[in-house]
Structure 1
Amino acid sequence: MAHLIKETFPVLEMSCAACAASVSSMLDSVPGVQEATVNFANQTALVTYDEDQVKPEAMRNAVRSIGYDLVIDTHNREEIQQQAQQSHYQALKIRTIIAIILSLPVVVIGMFFMNIPYANWFMCVLSTPVVFWVGRGFFVNAWKQARHRKANMDTLVALSTGIAWIFSVFNTINPHFWMSRGLHAHVYFEAAAVVVAFISLGKLLEEKAKSNTSSALKKLMGLQPKTVVVLRGNEQTEVPLEAVQVNELILVKPGNRIPVDGAVVEGMSYVDESMISGEPIPVLKEKGAKVFAGTINQQGSFQFKAEKVGADTVLAQIIRMVQEAQGSKAPVQQLVDKIAGIFVPVVMSIAVLTFVIWYLVAGDFTHGLLAAVTVLVIACPCALGLATPTAIMVGIGRGADHNILIRDAESLEKGYKTDVLLLDKTGTITEGKPTVESIAVKEDLLPVLLAMELQSEHPLAVAVVHHLQAAGVQAVKLARIESITGKGIAATYNGHRYLAGNAALLQVKPESDATIMLSEDDKIVGYVNITDQVKPTSGAAIAQLKQQGITVYMLTGDNEKTAAAVAKSVGIEHYKAGMLPGEKAAFVKSLQEQGRVVAMAGDGINDSQALAQADVSIAMGKGSDIAMDVAKMTLITADLQAIPRALALSKLTVRTIRQNLFWAFIYNLIGIPLAAGVLYPVNGFLLDPMIAGAAMALSSVSVVSNSLRLKWTKL
């Protein structure tokens, strides 16, 4: 019986989506690998394999055979990948700067000072390091693809720049070959150098976007402590987290993170579970209560029995589900490389065919060679390579002006198609912090209540303190104070005994929905109602989304009563309460199976699975690192009205990308036939390679200019 394992491995040295396809096909060919999905955006491979048939070492060797690398180290995979990406980015940055510096004088000489002595040799000396040192990656990657009978944008760049350089060197060394035939010996060093500089700049923009990717998944993994205090016999022993076994007793002290999932067996404390549940109020943990890895113990010490360790904990499952959801998505940039994969052999065929027709039909070797070179020069995909990154860069800047951070083109492409929006409650629709809604306590007892709540660091007590201090209440000096864990505070003042806390402390059934009650000599004398306030703009934003035809749902881990009240206050008809992280993600998937395009907005670790599953994921900027890491859009404002603006921006940006791609291709559709000489039999027109080089540069300028229009487009 097969023992299938699904595991994520970082992949190094990938430079385009075609590289990802090569790695994927190579992994798929390894015996024992059931499925391999390679994500170029994340630089990872999600592999499902039979551990009885294949080991990670075999998969790494297969990937290395085609010039890439697979990180199989189990301890520091992310660190190795991050270091490699940073090194690659810095090297690319240096090469791009050098390419621009060396290309500028080549362009100036080629355009304005072609007739100065040794002009061609100057250009040759300056352009050679640009083409073969700065641009060596294009040639190396083109060779890798050719070995496996594939082609990508690197192939076209290598061909066009390489042939332009070789042709120019030939004309520099032997100009009489053309002059003896009545033609001028043109050189195209500036075209070759500028092409490399432009494409390198485009790749630098793409690498910068990838290098800025947050390491929040790594931080999430770091939520678990490296060492754990276990109780073995009557002794406390500190052991590595990996050594913890199921059913072992673990001691958790105040301020410590809970290392694994389990159940409390002794002691009592409040635990901050906001990273799992999304709710800001700490939860009381008594004997028998469940505790989860990564959550934070706030007050007392307690012991619990380990029930799930390692990869079985809720935290580990969240990490794994996020990685799998991210790895299953292909970025929109892959489209460009797929097209280039077809475009490259077509252009090569056209160049060869052009030469053959000129030579066989017209018997003209010279014009045939010139026309073939012109086809390759004018077909260089510089505009194609810049079409997406420039639009994304401007779109990201435009979004930043409106407090919207956008991570990739995939979410932009799907954003304007959204017809369902799911909103988390706490921290998204609401403020995410408890505040006093109403207080019904006699005025002369307010100083007593303030003095009692000052003795507690519980978030509810803090909310009461802030409210009373803002009202100018001054605390009195209490005679006797007693903190009752999990229930509240007891104190004595002027001979009277006061209790401030929940219904369990007062041992009565509450007469209202009060969060905190105050009693004097066992008689209830006041109530404090505490709520998580709805953001002022939430209602208006939801109304605006409805006007756009978007169905809005609210998903929350809170109780039914609270969820209903919040939903009603902001005009949401559809909501689901008491939802766990996995249930939110499952709900997203169920909507997608109905053909809906789903956007999800949230701020907590508990939202990360749903965010990763959603077509469009939006994180609130004050939320957890993992939510912002998973989300493709992040709002750095509490104003939910940024969401409809973000969806409008996505429509404008994807429209710009499509316009850029249209102009990049229409230029080739018109330019390539002209370069091949289709008009020569009609009017004797033959496109000069120099003009082809200028047209190539103009196409890039037009694409960049079109992208810049986004800066002044009203959202």
Structure 2
Amino acid sequence: MSNEQLLHQPGNRVVELDIEGMTCASCVARVERKLGKLDGVEASVNLPLESAHVTVPAGITDEQITATVEAAGYKAKIRPPKYPGPVTERPAEHAEHAAGSAAPADHMAHGAASTLRPRLIVAAILTVPVFAISMFPAFQFPDWGWVAGILALPVVTWAAWPFHRAAAVNARHFASTMDTLVSLGVIAAYLFSAWQLLADPRMTEHPGMEMSTGGLYFEVAAVVTTFLLLGRYLEANAKQKAGDALKALLNLGAKDATVLADGEEVRIPADQLAVGDVIVVRPGEKIATDGVVVDGASAVDASLVTGESVPVEVGPDSPVTGATINTSGRLLVRATRVGSETTLAQMARLVSQAQTGKAPIARLADRISAVFVPIVLAIAVFTFAAWLVIAGPEVTDRELRAAFTAAVAVLVIACPCALGLATPVGLLTGTGRGAQLGILIKGPQVLEDTRTVDTILLDKTGTVTTGRLAVDSALAFGTSSSAEVLRLAGSVEAASEHPIAHAIAAAALSAERRNNDGGRLPAVEHFRSAPGGGVSGRVAGRLVLAGRTGWLRENGVPITTEQQAALRTAEESGATAIWVAVDGEPAGIVSLRDTIKPGSAAAVSRLKQLGLRPVLLTGDNREVAAQVAAAVGIAPADVFAGVLPDGKVEAVRKLQAGGATVAMAGDGVNDAAALAQADLGIAMGSGTDVAIEAADLTVMGNDLGQVAQAIELSRQTLATIKTNLFWAFFYNAVGIPVAALGLLNPMIAGAAMAASSVLVVANSLRLRGFGRPSQAGVATAR
């Protein structure tokens, strides 16, 4: 049962843990296994974030959870809870936890880096002379072996202490990790060398003597420690960079807000806002929380949250999102969601949950890592014994040295650092980059789903089209002109609140301003409106009617057969047609259409490049659907028209029954069931909370191009994780036998092991450049 399913069991809750001391996939597997032994508990542990997402049933306390982790040899701390209730019910001093608790990666990684830095510096300073003395006769002097041993001692003890401590903690629990391999390898190399030197104090009495007669490995112990510390330090810094996206997301919110109270403006911290507060937002300021504009008009830059570059025009009753920027006019905004309920906090929560989860491919790596270290220890012992057996009963110093070298090299080369980092760092970077682009990936399983989908069902209204009608054309009868018909219709419709009236009035005003600089529509007198019928009024002394056929007949306006045919032609083309009559005679017809979003055609083309078959879904008639499909490049055969809201699920099932793996993109409440039924549900962020909750992927903007970008990013993230895992497995599979055959020096093995971890992280960090202008091409890997 998944965490999501467990969470919906009665009495279950989620606990977020910060965990210190984990170093590899074996540590992750151990913590998950220990927590899993508690009845009803399921945990997902993330190595780069050094955190765990734990689903806990009733009866299991926080103290039991932390004690279990500590019993496994690690430090655990319960992360401050996220408060799901209204912010007014939450103490103000805890408000910072509502969003900030979502991202431990930064301070954890920073702490690790600062702890490792002094050890790395000391190790590097002492290792350079040890390496030079041991490897180059020109730097040697009488009894140089003792100097090398003394210089190497702080390196293999104090500098290597993190490895030794972790190995000791795990040994107490009869367990082993990659630190066990490192600690054993370093200690064995140093103690073997010290034993050799003590057994023959004169072995380095003269320069060059040890190279031909002895077996000192002080330089191996020092160099391996330094390389591994360097790898750990670079990993810690890389983890911090990988978590920067989420940290930046959390820092987007405004720190302060200006509240209008009793006619006065008061500046307060943003985390003290309550639902219903009216805040003042001046040009250039961030909107402090989600709300609705109650006064003012402006353009709002939502690019930081939605990823869309074009500012959105807002006015009274327009919804606005916290962390977006007011670019022009002064706005008064009534807060509707605050604290942990804001869009920004929800984004952070989704991203954090996705980063903590595991894709199926990651669990394979965890299972392998759980048994990997004991197997490697056995291989190292077997390697040492095999070399001695091959040498025969009389083992020379050279043969003993060769056996020891091979065994130590196996221990060092086998450390599964890269294996433990392969999946979580890729996931961390990919989901973080997605958050910057306004793309939220709900969980790691989604990455696998994007690889398999081959069909995408696009809901027309709000997804492919704007969902808002706009005037397409004006047809005039008799001596009237189309411009006059639109002008008179716009004048009378300007007094109506109907969406169709708004569209006609806006088009008429725009035309008037084009024809007469600064022009205005004539005023209307004696205005009258009939719901569902039409409007009437006097414009410049003339009686103007606009509306449906029944409205004209109700007002005694005759309609000829030719005029009725013109209306029918307009409607059959997919338009909404409105009659315009002047002084009792039909003057013309105004046609309106649902406007197609500017980027929809390009987005459909991009979806096709990704190997997807786009299918249009709409409740409109076939004529309207065919016109929209043709405009954006969807084949006529790939159109579901006349579909009622409850028929959307059936449309998904029909495609699935035909063998298709279906993605569904929608934005409305009536899309939620279809989004849940689809193999991959994609919610447009401009839509409802219900749709977003039901979806697997959410794009915070309303551009269909972001849907294609979301699928592309998910596939690239999965491809990056697979590449990481391949090289991690390949590295160990090739490295271990090479080391066992004595073909790999332990120093080179240490450098290679550290390099493999850094390369895996570097490969993952390439995702930070996804979607930037310099990136060319489209990911088609499936």
TM-score range for the pair, normalised by the shorter chain length: 0.5 to 0.7
Q: Pick from 458, 470, 494 the counterpart of residue 540 of structure 2.
A: 494
> Deviations along 1:299-325, whole A, 9 cap, x unmatched?
xxxxxxx9xxx9999999999999988
1:257, 1:438 → 2: CA distance?
42
Q: Pick from 187, 205, 212 the counterpart of residue 238 of structure 2.
A: 205
Q: Is the 2:44–2:54 Cα contact (8 Å) retained in structure 1?
A: yes
The match for 1:378 is 413
2:530, 2:349 → 1: CA distance?
34
2:509, 2:125 → 1: CA distance?
63
Whether 2:377 is the aligned partner of 1:342: answer no
Matches within 5 A, 1:103-142: 103=124, 106=127, 110=131, 115-116=138-139, 141-142=166-167
Matches within 5 A, 1:148-227: 148-160=173-185, 163=188, 176=201, 182-186=213-217, 187-188=219-220, 189-202=222-235, 204-213=237-246
The alignment's TM-score, normalised by the length of structure 1, stands at 0.62
Task: Classify 1:563/1:386 alpha carbon distance in 2 versus 1 (closer, same or farther; 3 Å).
Answer: same
The match for 1:533 is 596
Q: Is the 1:355–1:372 Cα contact (8 Å) retained in structure 2?
A: yes
Structure 1: state its 5+ residue gaps: 230-239, 245-249, 261-274, 286-290, 295-305, 676-685
2:596, 2:421 → 1: CA distance?
46
Q: Is the 1:479–1:491 Cα contact (8 Å) retained in structure 2?
A: no
Whether 2:752 is the aligned partner of 1:689: answer no
> Deviations along 1:371-407, whole A, 9 cap, x unmatched?
432322233345556766898899999999x999999
Q: Is the 2:685–2:692 Cα contact (8 Å) retained in structure 1?
A: no
The match for 1:5 is 12
Matches within 5 A, 1:90-489: 90-94=110-114, 99=120, 103=124, 106=127, 110=131, 115-116=138-139, 141-143=166-168, 145-160=170-185, 163=188, 176=201, 182-186=213-217, 187-188=219-220, 189-202=222-235, 204-213=237-246, 329-330=358-359, 332-356=361-385, 362=393, 364=395, 366-367=400-401, 368-381=403-416, 384=419, 415-425=450-460, 428-430=463-465, 435-440=470-475, 442-448=482-488, 460=503, 464=507, 468=511, 472=515, 477=520, 480=523
> Deviations along 1:426-447, whole A, 9 cap, x unmatched?
5654467764433446312434
Matches within 5 A, 1:614-653: 631=697, 638=705, 653=720
1:451, 1:15 → 2: CA distance?
72
1:125, 1:606 → 2: CA distance?
75
Task: Give 3-state SS (helix, strand or coil) of 2:576's partner.
Answer: coil
Please state how far the C-alpha of 1:87 moved relative to its aligned partner: 0.9
The alignment's TM-score, normalised by the length of structure 2, stands at 0.58
- Say which is worse superposed, 421-430 or 656-665, in terms of deviation: 421-430
Whether 2:114 is the aligned partner of 1:85: answer no
Identity of aligned residues (%): 30
Amino acid at match of 2:472: E
Amino acid at match of 2:371: I
Task: Classify 1:634/1:336 alpha carbon distance in 2 versus 1 (closer, same or farther; 3 Å).
Answer: farther
Q: Is the 2:109–2:240 Cα contact (8 Å) retained in structure 1?
A: yes
The match for 2:739 is 672
1:24, 1:608 → 2: CA distance?
34
Task: Give 3-state SS (helix, strand or coil) of 1:4's partner.
Answer: coil
- The alignment covers a number of residue pairs equal to 648
Structure 2: state its 5+ residue gaps: 1-8, 84-93, 205-209, 262-270, 282-286, 292-304, 306-311, 323-335, 477-481, 556-563, 768-774
2:360, 2:138 → 1: CA distance?
48
Please state how far the C-alpha of 1:494 moved relative to its aligned partner: 1.2
2:749, 2:41 → 1: CA distance?
48
Amino acid at match of 2:77: D
> Deviations along 1:308-350, whole A, 9 cap, x unmatched?
xx99999999999999888764364454443233221111122
Please state how far the C-alpha of 1:176 moved relative to its aligned partner: 3.7
Please state how far the C-alpha of 1:192 moved relative to its aligned partner: 1.9
Please state how far the C-alpha of 1:183 moved relative to its aligned partner: 1.3
Amino acid at match of 2:593: I
Q: Is the 1:8–1:323 Cα contact (8 Å) retained in structure 2?
A: no
Task: Classify 1:142/1:208 alpha carbon distance in 2 versus 1 (closer, same or farther; 3 Å).
Answer: farther
2:405, 2:234 → 1: CA distance?
29
Task: Classify 1:526/1:667 alpha carbon distance in 2 versus 1 (closer, same or farther; 3 Å).
Answer: same
> Deviations along 1:351-383, whole A, 9 cap, x unmatched?
233445566865658435444323222333455
Amino acid at match of 1:68: A
Q: Is the 1:10–1:77 Cα contact (8 Å) retained in structure 2?
A: no
The match for 2:771 is none
Please state how far the C-alpha of 1:533 moved relative to its aligned partner: 0.7
Q: Is the 2:123–2:159 Cα contact (8 Å) retained in structure 1?
A: no
1:319, 1:707 → 2: CA distance?
20
Amino acid at match of 2:381: V
Q: Is the 1:429–1:640 Cα contact (8 Å) retained in structure 2?
A: no
> Deviations along 1:11-39, whole A, 9 cap, x unmatched?
544665555544444444445x3655556
Please state how far the C-alpha of 1:504 moved relative to its aligned partner: 11
Q: Pick from 576, 589, 600 the counterpart of residue 514 of structure 1.
A: 576
1:241, 1:177 → 2: CA distance?
75
Please state how far the C-alpha of 1:205 moved relative to its aligned partner: 3.1
1:645, 1:618 → 2: CA distance?
13
1:84, 1:320 → 2: CA distance?
12
Please state how far the C-alpha of 1:573 moved relative to its aligned partner: 4.2
1:164, 1:585 → 2: CA distance?
66
Task: Give 3-state SS (helix, strand or coil) of 1:380's partner.
Answer: coil
Q: Is the 1:406–1:634 Cα contact (8 Å) retained in structure 2?
A: no
2:662, 2:153 → 1: CA distance?
51
Task: Give 3-state SS (helix, strand or coil) of 2:705's partner.
Answer: coil
Q: Is the 2:490–2:509 Cα contact (8 Å) retained in structure 1?
A: no
Amino acid at match of 1:191: V
The match for 2:327 is none
1:485, 1:18 → 2: CA distance?
73
Whether 2:79 is the aligned partner of 1:71: answer yes
Please state how far the C-alpha of 1:166 moved relative to its aligned partner: 6.2
2:450, 2:229 → 1: CA distance?
33
1:320, 1:392 → 2: CA distance?
15
- In angstroms, what is the RMSD of aligned CA positions? 7.1
